[in-house]
Structure 1
Amino acid sequence: MHAAAAPALGPGRVTMAPLVAFSDAIAAVLLAADLVVVIGSVLARSLFGAPVEWSDDVARGLMVGSSFFGAASAVARGENPGVEFFAARLGTGARRRVDAVAAVLTVLIAAYVALNAFKLGWMTAGQTTGSGLPLEWTFLPMGAGALFMTVFALDLACRRPLRELVEVLVAVAAVGGVFAAWSAVSPDTMPPAGLLMGLGFVVALLGGLSIGFSIALSALIYIWLDDYLPGVIFAQQMARGIDNFVLLAIPFFILVGYLMEANGMSVRLIELLQRMVGRMRGGLNVVMVLSMVLFSGISGSKMADVAAVGAVLVPAARRSKQDPGQAVALLAASAVMAETIPPCINLIILGFVANLSIGGLFMAGLIPSALMAAALIGVSVLFGTKAAIAADLIPEGGMRRMWIGAIVSLGLIAMIFIGFKSGFATATEISAFAVLYAIVVGAAVFRELSWRALARSFMHAATRSGLVLFIVAAAQALAWVLTLQQVPHALGDAMVALSQSSGTWLFMLLSIGILIVMGSVLEGAAALIIFGPLLVPVATQLGIDPLHFGVVLVIAMGIGLFAPPLGLGLYGACLIGHVPIERTVRPVMGYLGLIFVCLLLIAFIPVLSTGLPRLFGY
């Protein structure tokens, strides 16, 4: 992952530190308040039969505010994911100027969001939500978070040489002036807006501008070119992209992952797996796959799972004289395998944007993930060596202690599945109780969760979810612009016509290809938000079960996300494992090839993904 426009730390970081800490605190407090609201609402409804009518509105507003403050903190730390493959190959001078352009664009976009979010807040003053709460409570915190984002982006930009900044500002102003004059003098000869949007997105992405800001820039190009669309529409669409109770499950499940690491659940699960299967042929690799299965069934966040498992097992691979590049490659492939293990965040996002049952998607993903896990374990055993079973890699300690830890951890998985099947609560409400379980039970059993670690977990979760949800918000704005241009209608007609002449198998293969490519150049959530609503209705029209098709899309997106040379997930795994990406390319292509074969089986044997949903009534 590449932090766009993030130069080496300097004196400016010291002056910004208190403001960054303040942003962290606001994001974490809003997330904690959200947790209290959701849990309190469920308890009031279940125990006292008194639904809290305003709880959904408050929870959504808190999430929007927490997301933008979390995203602002991510900007301050230069954590926003972007593609560095091309920019890294530029000469030193060219790279510095390209990074300066990215820094200036980040400031302009963040400032534009902040200005129009505040405008929207002022315009909606006096209006209320369905439960009677002031509507501006959603937009003003969004504007405040975007303002912090602007300040942090400006700080990063100003730490660059003044000459570079002046050159970039002049160049950006010149480009804007040329297009403004062109539009005023000869609007009929202007290039199509869609072409300029696509060109702007590609250039920005390849130049190292982070994914979320590249997507936002693409949508803004259309708005700036259209004289009839006010800027507040852009802010409104960004807010609409994440102003949904369903998406609140994302920060909660991410928080569960951080809490598992803080309270010792993560280490104990991995230790137990090492004791159980670590002595078999290729045992360390088998432990890695099984660990990803278990962690993905709890946290829902792929990068949190990769971090938790990789931080323990990649160093173990080094100690056992295994190739760490091979270990990171298997870690990345295991993350793809785990994309359809509930409560995967991407399944939640796809269910939201494509109007599919999230519980049904969770059930549909189980057998496909089991197939891919079995394939990875089979290869690990078949080609494994005895190097992974050195005595010093098998953790010491009583089995009783490990089993207690495992039972407590697995209780979290059981609670998630029982909650969905019983209908006691929604995905968001279940995720909130999963957080409560991780805090109370984990802390009581393991006694490792200090107040400081708890606060740090909330802060990290708010920042990580802010990264994801800012991309979701930008992708929603772009999806809205594409709808205005009738891209979904045109794509749907073309795909239906092609499938009618060549069969649905071609539509399935094309859909897989689109999601692999776009999952590689975009962050996974963005690819699903843009293409899920485009492709799922076409699949339904062609008679393909939407739950089956949704699972296929998520796996294809996962392959792209971890595929070299652009896959952002692979860069993240390499950073966690401290391995250059060049050492992982060959082994990861082999593992992803195996996953791709499994994907073809899943795509063309629908019962693998439709069997369980039908059995459970979805």
Structure 2
Amino acid sequence: MIVLLFVLMFAFMALGLEIYISMGAASMIYLLVATETPLNLLTSTMVKEIDSYTLLAIPFFILAGELMNRSGMTLRLVEFSKFFIGKLKGGLAYSAVGVNIFSAGVSGSAPADCSAVSSVMLPAMKKDGYKEGFSASINAAAATIGPIIPPSIPMVFLALITNLSVGRLFLGGIIPGFLMGAALLVICYVLMKKQDLPVVDYKRSWKKFMSLFKDTFFALVAPVIIILGIITGMVTVTEVAILATAYVLLIGMFVYRAISWKDLVHIFASTGVFASTIMVLFSIVGIFSWIMAGEQVADQLAELFLSLHVNAVTFLLLVNIFLLFIGMIMDALPAMLIFIPVLLPLALELGVDPIHFGVVVVVNLMIGLVTPPVGALLYIVSRIGKIPFHVVGRSIFPFVLALLAVLLLITFVPSLVTWIPYSMMGE
């Protein structure tokens, strides 16, 4: 009967209903038809699912990203990166990757980073003669680094539904995040050799460097606050999110003077709407997860995999293929919340390190954000750059292949994920 739950959910999604409505309606119908569970259990389960102190980190990270974008920090990071790579052919493309790596250390959200950086980079790249498909693709692909380098909203979700350490998941994403950046830079270099791009005459001097560094210093410090807070363990993830938000707010209002009191109303309102949709989704998933636990779906799948004598490597490859497919048709957070409570027990049964498994899952689902037909980040850059979606969809594939190469590398070499968290925070 558990098949009925998934059939109903995907049927509602196919009709165009929001994911949380599809999951909630499917769960309610399933409880009415297949069980004798009282429906008042729905409300108590939903409230219990979001009654979490750690969950507060999500709206604060969202707010920090919004404040960072409004304060002009992104533009300052672009100018700072151009100082080092401005004379290279295709320097703006390299800057797009570099700025996304810096931005990743504040917001932890791929859509937020994509919107902020693309709004600055796409007009500049168009002016310098970059092909529109290439420009949109590199900005979308680079934004996938946002939830890999700490902090990361998806990793907070993953920790909440699996009871894994948020700090270790954050630290586990550092090396994979930089590997993703390196892979994208290589693809940029190969693709730009075929483009007739001007080499910008960017004059460097110690005086100019100091001027840019002074202007960008406060933007560069924000990720450091978050990383140090996680490594030292002096504050919780939620407290780190609050500190980062307060820091960016103060810098934006009183140092850069780019945020006014009037702006705060809109910023808080948009953050509240975005965060509330995530909270609703999380509460609905509580019902979904409760049903799957009651039906012992994880135990049944474990028996199936063990009967097939699947080893850890084969299991991870199968999970990657499955999640890559799911990521093509579903957003990352609901996919994670639906399937990971089932898949993680299997991974543990087969001896897969949970931190390694968690980071592999997040990287996998971030690739889904730039993979057609859904590809949420592709729609964002298409809208910002006023570029036809099919043009972006065709141009993204070299970058997807680069990201897939990194995914396979961290899948087969677990130490690339586990070395930093276990050396910093112990076994």
Q: TM-score range by the shorter chain?
A: over 0.9
Shift of 1:204: 1.8
Structure 2 counterpart of 1:315: 123
Structure 2 residue 39 is the aligned partner of structure 1 residue 231 = yes
Equivalent-residue separation in structure 2 for 1:240 and 1:574 (angstroms): 39
Shift of 1:469: 2.4
Structure 2 counterpart of 1:410: 220
Shift of 1:552: 0.6
Structure 1 counterpart of 2:298: 488
Map 1:81-100 → 2, pairs under 5 A: none
Q: Mind listing any 5+ residue stretches in structure 1 that lack a counterpart?
A: 1-191
- The one of 347, 372, 381 equivalent to 2:155 is 347
Does the CA-based 8 Å contact 1:516-1:558 persist in structure 2?
no
Q: Mind listing any 5+ residue stretches in structure 2 that lack a counterpart?
A: none
Structure 2 residue 38 is the aligned partner of structure 1 residue 260 = no
Equivalent-residue separation in structure 1 for 2:225 and 2:359 (angstroms): 23
Equivalent-residue separation in structure 2 for 1:577 and 1:471 (angstroms): 30
Structure 1 counterpart of 2:230: 420
Does the CA-based 8 Å contact 1:329-1:591 persist in structure 2?
yes
Structure 2 residue 374 is the aligned partner of structure 1 residue 566 = yes
Structure 2 counterpart of 1:374: 182
Equivalent-residue separation in structure 1 for 2:424 and 2:341 (angstroms): 25
Equivalent-residue separation in structure 2 for 1:388 and 1:255 (angstroms): 38
Structure 2 residue 319 is the aligned partner of structure 1 residue 520 = no
Matched positions, count: 421
Structure 2 residue 197 is the aligned partner of structure 1 residue 387 = yes
Structure 1 counterpart of 2:279: 469
Structure 2 counterpart of 1:330: 138
- The one of 378, 387, 390 equivalent to 1:579 is 387
Equivalent-residue separation in structure 1 for 2:215 and 2:262 (angstroms): 22
Shift of 1:525: 1.2
Does the CA-based 8 Å contact 2:226-2:244 persist in structure 1?
yes
For residues 398 and 320 of structure 1, do their structure 2 counterparts lie closer, same or farther at Cα, with a shift above 3 Å needed?
same
Shift of 1:339: 3.0
Map 1:147-546 → 2, pairs under 5 A: 192=1, 194-226=2-34, 228-384=36-192, 385=195, 387=197, 389-390=199-200, 399-498=209-308, 501-546=309-354
Shift of 1:313: 0.6
Does the CA-based 8 Å contact 1:602-1:609 persist in structure 2?
yes
Greater mean deviation of Cα atoms: 198-207 or 344-353: 198-207
Does the CA-based 8 Å contact 2:87-2:199 persist in structure 1?
yes
Q: Which has the larger radius of gyration?
A: 1
Letter in 1 for 2:221: G
Shift of 1:514: 2.1
For residues 490-542 of structure 1, the C-alpha deviation after alignment (integer angstroms, 9 at most, x for no partner) is 122223333xx242221011111222222232221111112222222221221
Does the CA-based 8 Å contact 1:364-1:547 persist in structure 2?
yes
Does the CA-based 8 Å contact 1:476-1:530 persist in structure 2?
no
Does the CA-based 8 Å contact 1:337-1:595 persist in structure 2?
no
Structure 2 residue 355 is the aligned partner of structure 1 residue 547 = yes
Letter in 1 for 2:298: P
Does the CA-based 8 Å contact 2:57-2:238 persist in structure 1?
yes
Question: What SS does structure 2 have at the residue aligned with 1:338?
Answer: coil
Shift of 1:554: 0.7
Equivalent-residue separation in structure 1 for 2:230 and 2:324 (angstroms): 30
For residues 561 and 238 of structure 1, do their structure 2 counterparts lie closer, same or farther at Cα, with a shift above 3 Å needed?
farther
Does the CA-based 8 Å contact 1:412-1:438 persist in structure 2?
yes
For residues 70-93 of structure 1, the C-alpha deviation after alignment (integer angstroms, 9 at most, x for no partner) is xxxxxxxxxxxxxxxxxxxxxxxx
Shift of 1:409: 1.0
Structure 1 counterpart of 2:407: 599
Equivalent-residue separation in structure 2 for 1:337 and 1:265 (angstroms): 18
Does the CA-based 8 Å contact 2:320-2:364 persist in structure 1?
yes
For residues 296 and 243 of structure 1, do their structure 2 counterparts lie closer, same or farther at Cα, with a shift above 3 Å needed?
same
Does the CA-based 8 Å contact 2:80-2:213 persist in structure 1?
yes
What TM-score do the two structures reach when normalised by structure 1? 0.65
What TM-score do the two structures reach when normalised by structure 2? 0.93
For residues 272-329 of structure 1, the C-alpha deviation after alignment (integer angstroms, 9 at most, x for no partner) is 1123313312211111111111111111111111110011111112112222222222
Structure 1 counterpart of 2:416: 608
Percent identity reads 31
Greater mean deviation of Cα atoms: 286-295 or 405-414: 405-414
For residues 549 and 511 of structure 1, do their structure 2 counterparts lie closer, same or farther at Cα, with a shift above 3 Å needed?
same
For residues 519 and 404 of structure 1, do their structure 2 counterparts lie closer, same or farther at Cα, with a shift above 3 Å needed?
same
Shift of 1:439: 1.3
Greater mean deviation of Cα atoms: 201-210 or 564-573: 564-573
For residues 377 and 252 of structure 1, do their structure 2 counterparts lie closer, same or farther at Cα, with a shift above 3 Å needed?
same
Equivalent-residue separation in structure 2 for 1:515 and 1:593 (angstroms): 16
Letter in 1 for 2:241: S
For residues 296 and 282 of structure 1, do their structure 2 counterparts lie closer, same or farther at Cα, with a shift above 3 Å needed?
same
For residues 57-107 of structure 1, the C-alpha deviation after alignment (integer angstroms, 9 at most, x for no partner) is xxxxxxxxxxxxxxxxxxxxxxxxxxxxxxxxxxxxxxxxxxxxxxxxxxx
Shift of 1:359: 0.7
For residues 564 and 505 of structure 1, do their structure 2 counterparts lie closer, same or farther at Cα, with a shift above 3 Å needed?
same
For residues 459 and 245 of structure 1, do their structure 2 counterparts lie closer, same or farther at Cα, with a shift above 3 Å needed?
same
Shift of 1:374: 0.6
For residues 240 and 589 of structure 1, do their structure 2 counterparts lie closer, same or farther at Cα, with a shift above 3 Å needed?
farther
Equivalent-residue separation in structure 1 for 2:328 and 2:229 (angstroms): 34
Question: What SS does structure 2 have at the residue aligned with 1:496?
Answer: helix
Does the CA-based 8 Å contact 1:282-1:383 persist in structure 2?
no
Shift of 1:363: 1.1
Question: What SS does structure 1 have at the residue aligned with 2:197?
Answer: helix
Does the CA-based 8 Å contact 1:346-1:554 persist in structure 2?
yes
Letter in 2 for 1:255: L
For residues 565 and 291 of structure 1, do their structure 2 counterparts lie closer, same or farther at Cα, with a shift above 3 Å needed?
same
Equivalent-residue separation in structure 2 for 1:576 and 1:211 (angstroms): 25
Equivalent-residue separation in structure 2 for 1:207 and 1:472 (angstroms): 22
Does the CA-based 8 Å contact 1:559-1:592 persist in structure 2?
yes
Equivalent-residue separation in structure 2 for 1:302 and 1:338 (angstroms): 5
Question: What SS does structure 1 have at the residue aligned with 2:425?
Answer: coil
Higher relative contact order (CA 8 A, sep 6+): 2
Shift of 1:572: 3.2
Equivalent-residue separation in structure 2 for 1:388 and 1:310 (angstroms): 20
Map 1:116-155 → 2, pairs under 5 A: none
Shift of 1:400: 4.1
Shift of 1:381: 2.1
Structure 1 counterpart of 2:365: 557
RMSD across aligned positions (CA)? 2.1
Equivalent-residue separation in structure 2 for 1:389 and 1:463 (angstroms): 43
